[in-house]
Amino acid sequence: MTHPAASPAPLLAVDALRVAFPGAHARPVRAVDGVAFTVDAGETVCLVGESGCGKSLTALACLGLVPEPGVIEAGSRVTFQGVELLALPEGQRRALRGNRLALVFQEPMTALNPVLTVGDQVAEVVRVHARASRREAWARAVAMLERVGVGDAAARARQYPHELSGGLRQRVLIAMALVMGPALLIADEPTTALDVTIQAQVLALLRTLRADTGMGLLLITHDLGVVAEMADRVVVMYAGRVVEEGPVAALFAAPAHPYTRGLLAAMPRLDTPDAPLAAIPGAVPAPGQWPSGCPFRDRCAHATAACAAAEPALHQVTPGHRARCHLVAPAAAGRAA
């Protein structure tokens, strides 16, 4: 049993994570470039960013599951419960996956095998990790399905994915992830494919389960509404880097990075319904086509010559709140003060 805040070491610590894909002219393209963040037990951390910023890849890399031909570069560190995951042999990493740290996928429509019953697929996880008979595994699967709010779980378990609604399928995926009682759950856009009412139900379920089990939750999303509702801390990614991180209240109240400000401004608000939505100009450049210096400078209204010259470091804004921007550099902050 892990006790929240009992140990100073975080549950999951990602450091200098770099994922590269072979590119043209034998020059590897880094899709994730030096990402670092931590998740504590009992904490919900939201990883936010536009499509293509490296969120999902970061999640997969945490499990050592980067798709071919991607490679996790040397020097990357993913420490889970004090164990360096990336240094473990694949067999031991596999014993942890689905058992101590689990992943919920984005697409409930495609993440279930269409020719196996859903109960079978949940029970499978039990059979992989525990010495359980078919009957025991099935019983645990049904109990877990019940727990994630699948009504009449015993009957549902015998159904095939195509017989279930999207919301139910997402619950099945959550049951698959949680059946072994993991210490950390990584949920990659778990509500993106669902309609709004079901979204709210699934989020509420995740919150309840996190509270009940004391697990850490790394929630990947591009939906700032979800972030506001769920997160303790937020990590904002852009172009494969962490550009801002901090407690959710601080980050929403005083976003320090122009990109975060842009994201927040692009959100529709109920209190000013007639105001036009702000958009961030341009689109996320493809990995390998990022500009020199700060990768956001092409789209940034505040870009200066300094931004092209050097990539900014993560500067502290307030304790626990940091942003990767020259504007919050100590010198600039000193001048402003």
Residues contributing to the site for another protein (CB under 8 A): 60, 63, 65, 67-69, 94-99, 102-103, 105, 107, 110-116, 124-125, 128-129, 160, 173, 176-177
Least distance in Å: CB of 327 to another protein?
39
**Distances from the Cα of 229 to the Cαs of 44, 87, 147, 203, 233, in angstroms?**
11, 35, 22, 9, 11
Of 232, 218, 280, give the one whose Cα is nearest residue 17. 218
Cβ proximity to another protein: between 129 and 261 the closer is 129
Least distance in Å: CB of 252 to another protein?
31
Rounded to 10°, the helix 134-147/118-129 angle is: 120
Least distance in Å: CB of 125 to another protein?
5
Cβ proximity to another protein: between 190 and 312 the closer is 190
Cβ proximity to another protein: between 26 and 115 the closer is 115
Phi, psi dihedrals of residue 53, rounded to the nearest 5°:
-90, -5
Least distance in Å: CB of 89 to another protein?
13
Label residue 149 left, alpha or beta by phi (over 0 means left) and psi (-120 to 50 means alpha). Answer: left
Cβ proximity to another protein: between 65 and 132 the closer is 65
CA 330 to mean position of chain CA atoms? 30
C-alpha dihedral, 48 to 49 to 54 to 60, nearest 10°? 30
CA 59 to mean position of chain CA atoms? 6
Least distance in Å: CB of 94 to another protein?
5
Least distance in Å: CB of 336 to another protein?
45
Cβ neighbours of 216 (radius 10 Å): 27
Is residue 147 a contact partner of residue 141, using CB atoms and an 8 Å limit?
no
Q: DSSP character for 23?
A: -
Tokens of 66: 């980067």
